[in-house]
């Protein structure tokens, strides 16, 4: 059984500092927010981030989809530290310093590209009762620069050191050329490259960038909504049968013929669908009482994190999915993408 080694898992994406605090209805009204929503920040929201940071019980966490997943993979693995490397862009500001500190506390080897044009990306979670309104301001995360970071020898060496690569589809909006460089490296060296569909709008509006990367994708993740949009955009006939969509996605052109593509689609409380060899298999998720569910926002990132933690240790696909289900089950019982000190994964 292989144990994880330092920098074996490589992630690249949009680093965001998650800032969460309890607010009141007046606060939501002031910034035109719905109690339960996920939006991208507009100009009218810019002052909100400083205001929420001044709340008495404000909490900070290293966030952003890919960083969440590698952070959870590291938590599942525990030791050694720094199994996960993470690249992304931040600012040279106070929030950037907090983000560095939080990544370090999570034992992730975060190598941020820092620039002065834009402030560090943030995601505010405005909590009222059981609701949370998420407002993301990508800011610096949009400024990742391949030539000034990924291509540097010291950084590229960390890419070469990895065995498993994971990038959320969100990063296709920032630096598709960086994704392609990493994906081609994985393919040429028979290493595992994985991508997440991430959101319906990625399949719709960043289709060209996504399909340039797809021939290098060994593992494709997504949820049922993203899978349906992807199928529709690709012109698959059966867009309502998730098993058929998985099968069709698996058979899209692939460069590295030594590895058959694996497609894994989660469906919330319904079975997870995965292609194993020529078959599509259903895996039931762990039971949970609806009353124990606090926040499902980080569930998808957590599933991937659990999955990657076993994958990097060369476990079977069944084991990877079991770990994904475990991690998601832990995360949805807590606010935000947070976890207890240690996992209890048998």
Return d(Cα 124, Cα 45) in angstroms, integer: 10
**Residue 237 contacts by C-beta under 8 Å, 6 or more apart in sequence?**
none
Q: Cα separation of 20 and 293, whole Å?
A: 18
Whole-angstrom Cα distance, residue 201 to residue 223? 13
Question: Cβ–Cβ contacts within 10 Å for residue 335, how many?
Answer: 16
Strand segments, DSSP code E, in 34-83 are 37-40, 59-63
State the Cα–Cα distance between residues 104 and 81, nearest whole angstrom. Answer: 10
Of 80, 154, 79, nearest to 113 by C-alpha is: 154
Query: What is the side-by-side strand order in the sheet with 16-22?
Result: 37-40, 131-137, 122-128, 16-22, 59-63
42 contacts: CB under 8 Å, gap ≥ 6: none
Which residues are designated catalytic?
Answer: 301
Q: What Rg, from alpha-carbon coordinates, does the chain have?
A: 19
For tokens 């990544």, name the residue. 103
As separate numbers, helices (DSSP H) first and strands (DSSP E) second, the chain gives 12, 14
Contact, 115 vs 142, CB < 8 A?
no
| Token pair of 246 as six digits | 């998985």
Which residues sit opposite 220 in a β-bridge? 195, 263
Residue linked to tokens 């909490």: 59
The rounded distance, in Å, linking the Cα atoms of 338 and 269 is: 20
């Amino acid at each position: 059984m292989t144990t994880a080694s330092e920098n074996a898992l490589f992630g690249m994406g949009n680093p965001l500092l998650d800032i969460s605090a309890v607010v009141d209805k007046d606060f939501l009204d002031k910034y035109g927010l719905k109690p339960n929503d996920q939006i991208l920040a507009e100009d009218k929201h810019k002052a909100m981030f400083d205001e929420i940071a001044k709340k008495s019980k404000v909490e900070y966490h290293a966030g952003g989809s890919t960083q969440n997943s590698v952070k959870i993979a590291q938590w599942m693995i525990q030791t050694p530290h720094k199994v996960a490397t993470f690249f992304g862009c931040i600012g040279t500001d106070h929030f950037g310093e907090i983000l560095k500190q939080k990544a370090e506390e999570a034992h992730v080897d975060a190598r941020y590209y820092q620039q002065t044009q834009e402030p560090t990306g943030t995601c505010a979670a405005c909590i009222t009762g059981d609701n949370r309104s998420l407002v993301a301001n990508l800011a610096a995360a949009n400024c990742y620069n391949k030539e000034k970071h990924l291509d540097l020898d010291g950084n590229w060496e960390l890419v070469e050191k990895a065995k498993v690569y994971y990038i959320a589809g969100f990063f296709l909006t920032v630096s598709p050329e960086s994704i392609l460089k990493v994906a081609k490296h994985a393919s040429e060296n028979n290493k595992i490259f994985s991508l997440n569909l991430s959101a319906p709008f990625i399949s719709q509006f960043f289709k060209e960038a996504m399909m340039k990367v797809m021939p290098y994708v060994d593992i494709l993740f997504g949820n049922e909504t993203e899978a349906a949009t992807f199928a529709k955009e690709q012109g698959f006939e059966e867009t309502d049968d998730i098993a058929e969509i998985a099968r069709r996605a698996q058979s899209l052109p692939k460069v590295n013929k030594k590895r058959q593509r694996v497609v894994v689609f989660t469906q919330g409380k319904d079975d997870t669908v995965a292609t194993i060899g020529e078959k599509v298999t259903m895996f039931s998720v762990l039971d949970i009482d609806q009353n124990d569910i606090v926040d499902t926002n980080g569930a998808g990132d957590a599933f991937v994190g659990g999955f990657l933690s076993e994958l990097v240790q060369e476990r079977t696909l069944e084991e990877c999915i079991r770990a994904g289900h475990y991690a998601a089950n832990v995360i949805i019982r807590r606010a935000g993408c947070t976890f207890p000190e240690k996992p209890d994964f048998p």
